[in-house]
Amino acid sequence: MIDLFKLEEEVRDLIMDFQANKEKIRSLIAQVAPDLNKEVGKTIIYADMFSGDPSARNHRLSLFVMMYEECEALRNYAPMAYDLFMEAYVNSSNIHKQLQDTPFDIRGFLEQIHEKVDVESKLNDISRPFFDQLSNTFEVYRGLSKAEKDDGRQGVSSS
């Protein structure tokens, strides 16, 4: 059984210098991978909450990617992968920068998830009424950083 408090503490301490500790974090994730569930995944994603480092949320998507790469069960169970991805994606900052250092194919991941998970069923009491009011077509505008524009990797909303 995983001690979630100890896991959160270990990840939090390592995340203080994320770049220097990436391999240690990956190793820690690999150790807990056989027992990874949604609660363990959220503990890893949100370990930064008490770090005191305002830039720590810049690593949440990277932590998800590490979990996805290290945990076969996560790759094979789309509903949990979707839920943890959404936790990391929605509550992360500087996503483009996090994806620059990884071969993770966010578009491919989302395409696979869409085939296996009824995303609409995941809507909650707040998002469901909003979703139901949307028309069938609408324009979406997306900003991007100069780095995204320059390197041609323009995110999941580019055509």
Q: What is the DSSP letter of 152?
A: S
Spatial distance between the Cα atoms of 146 and 102, rounded to a whole number of angstroms: 19
Residue 30: the pLDDT is: 95
Model pTM score: 0.79
Quick check: 8 pLDDT over 70? yes
Mean of the pLDDT values across residues 113-131?
86
Quick check: 40 pLDDT over 90? yes
**45-82 pLDDT per residue, tens:** 999 887 777 777 889 999 999 999 999 999 999 999 99
Question: At a CB cut-off of 8 Å and minimum separation 6, what does 88 contact?
Answer: 45, 60, 61, 63, 64
Residue 156: the pLDDT is: 52
